[in-house]
Amino acid sequence: MKTKLTELLNIKYPILQGAMAWISEARLAAAVSNAGGAGIIGTGGRELSWVKEQIGLAKTLTDKPFGVNVVLMDDDKEEKIDLICNEKVSFVTLGAGNPVPYIEKFKNAGIKVIPVVPNTKLAKRVEDNGADALIIEGMEAGGHIGKLTTLSLMTQVIPEINIPVIAAGGFADGRGLAAALVMGASGIQAGTRFYASKECAAHIDAKNAIVAAGDMGTEITGYLSNHSIRSLKNKATDKYIELEKANAPAEELSKLRAGKARSAPVEGDVEWGLIQAGQSLSVITSIKSCEEIINDFIREAEEALSRVPGTKK
């Protein structure tokens, strides 16, 4: 399946495994790349030495292109950027901050730059500043989210942009991939579907919670303060929302989140940890290998696309 994205990254299928802090490690990223998509190592909150080790490990596990994500809120982002430039990975995705000051540096190191953006204005800005592609991430997604949905982003951003646009947020099967391609996207990025994969290092209780959850299984916390996170409903989200309703001070709310993005996937704290996950949960019914997930995406997308010409007037 060829698109502008597969050509840009030299990959077989237009599917990225979205970076997931504390979850998407070298083994997951390499498994996705070996299956024909492109995996991404999530470096958010991680030590520099861990990032170096994981990039090295991924290089031993795959000879296919893989990416690295930098969370631009991280205090040591400059050091991480230097390290990634030295390691010469295929591409980076950049989120949670202004990517523009870093685009040239990556490009000079021969690394393709793919910022994650939540609206048309930022999409145009990163294109004007030399990004190679961009990811529009709708609020159906797991993790930190913006305010627009994936469909409204595809509708409004894609016609304005010439570089490849990758749609993210709520893609968990091949019908979604087909829909994104029909909308003019060059590919998709999926996170939650790969969380529930065999190669994902996350705690089995967190993976099982994703498999067990259905379409109403997530909650957004922090919406009013513009620090929105979508995660599975649990004691932590109930408590957070209770405190938000009571106008609790910001420090109390942030205390409730401290270390929680880590404790669910790493320690298996599924009650008080944050199991960040997107809304398209009902179709995730088992933990599969990345190869099965990618093959399902492609088979279902091809089936869906073959039905389109048969549409009756």
Ligand X SMILES: Cc1cc2nc3c(=O)[nH]c(=O)nc-3n(C[C@H](O)[C@H](O)[C@H](O)COP(=O)(O)O)c2cc1C
Specify the residue, 211 or 246, whose C-beta has the smaller distance to ligand X: 211
Task: Indicate which single residue of 6, 34, 62, 189 sits in contact with ligand X (rule: CB under 6 A).
Answer: 189
Binding pattern to ligand X, positions 147-166, x when CB under 6 A?
--------------------
User: Angle between the 48-61 and 77-87 helix axes, to the nearest 10 degrees?
Assistant: 30
Q: Shortest distance, CB of residue 137 to ligand X, whole angstroms?
A: 5
Query: Which residues lie below 8 Å from residue 251, measured CB to CB, with a gap of 6+?
Result: none
Q: Shortest distance, CB of residue 260 to ligand X, whole angstroms?
A: 11
φ/ψ of 115, rounded to 5, equals -75, 155
Strand, coil or helix: 76 = coil
Residue numbers 200-239 binding ligand X by CB under 6 A:
none
Q: Shortest distance, CB of residue 142 to ligand X, whole angstroms?
A: 3
Q: Give yes or no for residue 20 binding ligand X (CB under 6 A).
A: yes
Distance CA 270, CA 263 (A): 8
64 close to 34: Cβ distance less than 8 angstroms:
yes
6 close to 29: Cβ distance less than 8 angstroms:
no
Residue numbers 62-121 binding ligand X by CB under 6 A:
69, 71, 93, 95, 116
Distance CA 21, CA 201 (A): 11
Q: Give yes or no for residue 123 binding ligand X (CB under 6 A).
A: no
* Residues binding ligand X (CB under 6 A): 18-21, 23, 42, 44, 69, 71, 93, 95, 116, 137, 140-143, 168-171, 189-193, 195, 276-278, 280
